[in-house]
Structure 1
Amino acid sequence: MPLTFKQWFFLIFLCMVSSIGMAQSEKNAIRVHDPVMVQQDDSYYLFATGRGIAVWSSPDMKDWKREESVFEEAPQWTLDMNPDFRNHIWAPDIAEYNGTYYLYYSVSQFGRNKSAIGVVTNETMNPNDPNYEWVDHGPVVQSVPGRDLWNAIDPNLSFDDEGTPWLSFGSYWRGIKIVQLKKNLTEITTSPQSWRTIASRHRYWKLDVRDAGNKSSGDIEAPFIFKKNGFYYLFASWDRCCAGKESTYKVVVGRSENITGPYLDKTDKKMIHGGGTLVTKGNKKWAAVGHQAAYTFDDTDYLIFHGYDNEDDGDAKLIIREIEWTDGWPAVKL
């Protein structure tokens, strides 16, 4: 049955309102890199790369208030590892477990795999709560140049169906790893069987990992595992980040019935062999998008990530989008 003129007008009006609202949201987007989020009561708390770990709060995921950083000074263990470390902490991950909030964070140098992942805990996300206090537990896992062909950054905590905790992480080098954690969530198990490679891309060893041009140089990072409808979905970011308008970041995904894989894309190609189904990529507004996290808030699935704004000199800004599911595969529209 054809639509009436009034119905067409109403549809056009809805699209205009939606576009205006989106434009206002993008215009006021906060500058963040590598965002993750958690909800407590009626508030949302966002953590991102920054000095001491950047923290924001919001009642609606739209209007954000800057909070005090997690670390006023760099933890001593980070200085023992790298005396030149200046408290600029990368790529956190936040999760609540049994009433405690666990915040994993990355300490590294750009383009190197001399890196470590630490964890700090808190009983509450509310800075006005008298119990609000960050307690650092030091390093969880560390990568060493010349010893390891993986990079201990970009952590993500997840649990399998038996409640066993796992930490996925990795950037470039030989891809994304997953390792079993002890029940205290602050230490890894030492069993060799607890380690897995779950995603990777070919690396040209004669090229610098950040200067591969049009060739892949192991350019995969930012793992995030999201459980839905019997599958574990492994989201990851491909290609060049951190270069403003010159970035080529994009988000891909694979899925598995087991948390340790194998993760397959839509064509059944394994992610350990370079597979990955596109979830979202840049457009005219955004030069590139990536370093994603997936959550369910109020029965709606969201992808939280950053994009490099072509209209603002390539600055990295927060993007929040609903995930659309088609035949069991996620996609996100910018």
Structure 2
Amino acid sequence: MRLKFLLAAIASLAAAPAPVPHNPIFVGADPDMVALCGRWYVYPTNAVDPKDGFAASRFYAWSSPDLRHWTKSAPLIEMKDIGWIEADGAKNHGLWAPSLTAANGRYYLYYSVGPQNPTPSRLGVAIGDSPDGPFKDSGKPLLTGGHGFEAIDPMVFVDHDGKAYLYAGGSAGAKLRIFLMKPDMTEIDHEIQVETPPNFTEGAFVHERNGIYYLSYSHGHFDGPDYSVHYATSKTPVGPWTYRGAILTADATHQGPGHHAFAENPKTHQWFIAYHRWERGPGPGPYKGTREVAIDAIHYTKDGRILPVKMTDGPPPLSPLPATSCKEPRR
């Protein structure tokens, strides 16, 4: 009889659904988020492993059909497979801040390689046939820093007319630069001269809604209480930009929220923000430990302003995606 009850209990546990993750969802930083192929995808900087040195040596993707149930991919790409990194003398460098863009029926993973010293920081790009990877590096740097510019935090936005724009830079020098990409998405055509918006530090991201282009970015020190997300708007993807203020700032139990991405459910037209934060109360930096990724809903006013984001601790908003093909979304 005891065996019967034991087997029943084991069967019950095996049939029980996996627990729904709460915010924050997983350890990581600098998340990009897209809605593709009927799934939400989040591409974060991998949590640092001591054996990896300065930063992570590989990328993973997390995917979900509804923002509640998540699956981690196999490695998307590893630093040991990117030959130009060590060839350039960057033996102590690492990978961070990945960003995915779909175009030409393929998927392009842009990423940072650094730190800035003793060799310049660089941006790379890898190509894949699926948002789950694997990705193969293009074979050369996309952009190299130096002379006061730190080449970090790439993000590529594809506009209605098919033109693709690379947004990058920040941290050392806190300078934003924008480039028009060539159609192959792996090379830069030319730079577009723009003014750096107020309170810009790093982590630029662009999305468009109802004819308004939103440039959002992180401000402050990544390991301190002043890290936050601000935004500006324009009628074009390259400005001129009108500064609108901060939308994501520290509160009583979460510090340093930032390095974010926006994504839209194409069925409900609800927008979300993925970002990282420190799970702790107020206090001076630098913070130690790990950052974690959270997702919260975005709300707009009738005139298109973004309302300040309220960080939550419960499960991310339930948002099933429609079953679709891998149609390329516009960022």
| TM-score between the two structures when normalised by the length of structure 1 | 0.74
**What is the one-letter code of the residue matched to 1:29?**
I
CA distance in 2, matches of 1:24, 1:316: 16
1:9 maps to what in 2?
none
Residues 35, 263 of structure 2: 8 Å contact kept? no
Residues 298, 306 of structure 2: 8 Å contact kept? yes
Q: 1:80 aligns with which of 79, 87, 97?
A: 87
Cα shift at 1:133: 3.5
Residues 113, 151 of structure 1: 8 Å contact kept? no
Cα shift at 1:296: 0.8
CA distance in 2, matches of 1:111, 1:304: 29
1:140 maps to what in 2?
142
- Tell me whether 1:309 sits opposite 2:284 in the alignment: no
- Percent identity among equivalent residues? 26
**What is the one-letter code of the residue matched to 1:179?**
F
CA distance in 1, matches of 2:252, 2:289: 12
Residues 175, 197 of structure 1: 8 Å contact kept? no
List alignment gaps of at least 5 residues for structure 2.
1-19, 47-56, 282-286, 312-331
Residues 165, 180 of structure 1: 8 Å contact kept? yes
Q: What are the residue-to-residue correspondences of 1:16-165 with 2, within 5 Å?
A: 25-26=22-23, 29-50=25-46, 51-74=57-80, 75-86=82-93, 88-109=94-115, 114-126=120-132, 133-137=134-138, 138-144=140-146, 148-165=147-164
**What is the one-letter code of the residue matched to 2:180?**
Q
CA distance in 1, matches of 2:92, 2:165: 28
**What is the one-letter code of the residue matched to 1:55?**
A
List alignment gaps of at least 5 residues for structure 1.
1-22, 127-131, 202-217, 267-276
CA distance in 2, matches of 1:229, 1:290: 24
- Give the secondary-structure state (helix, strand or coil) at the position aligned to 2:153: coil
CA distance in 2, matches of 1:222, 1:151: 12
Q: Deviations over 1:37-78 (max 9, x none)?
A: 223333222211133123222232223232222223431111
Distance 1:114 1:167, change over 3 A: same
- Tell me whether 1:322 sits opposite 2:303 in the alignment: no
CA distance in 2, matches of 1:66, 1:90: 17
Q: 2:234 aligns with which of 251, 256, 262?
A: 256
- Give the secondary-structure state (helix, strand or coil) at the position aligned to 1:139: coil
Aligned residues: 270
- Give the secondary-structure state (helix, strand or coil) at the position aligned to 2:84: helix
Of residues 281-290 and 135-144 in structure 1, the stretch that sits farther from structure 2 once superposed is 135-144
**What is the one-letter code of the residue matched to 1:222?**
G
Distance 1:238 1:198, change over 3 A: same
| TM-score between the two structures when normalised by the length of structure 2 | 0.75
- Tell me whether 1:279 sits opposite 2:247 in the alignment: yes
Residues 174, 200 of structure 1: 8 Å contact kept? no
Cα root mean square deviation, aligned: 2.4
CA distance in 2, matches of 1:161, 1:59: 26
Distance 1:29 1:133, change over 3 A: closer
Residues 287, 314 of structure 1: 8 Å contact kept? no
- Tell me whether 1:221 sits opposite 2:202 in the alignment: yes
Residues 113, 122 of structure 2: 8 Å contact kept? yes
Q: Deviations over 1:154-175 (max 9, x none)?
A: 0010133432111001112141
2:260 maps to what in 1?
292
Higher relative contact order (CA 8 A, sep 6+): 2
Distance 1:113 1:238, change over 3 A: farther
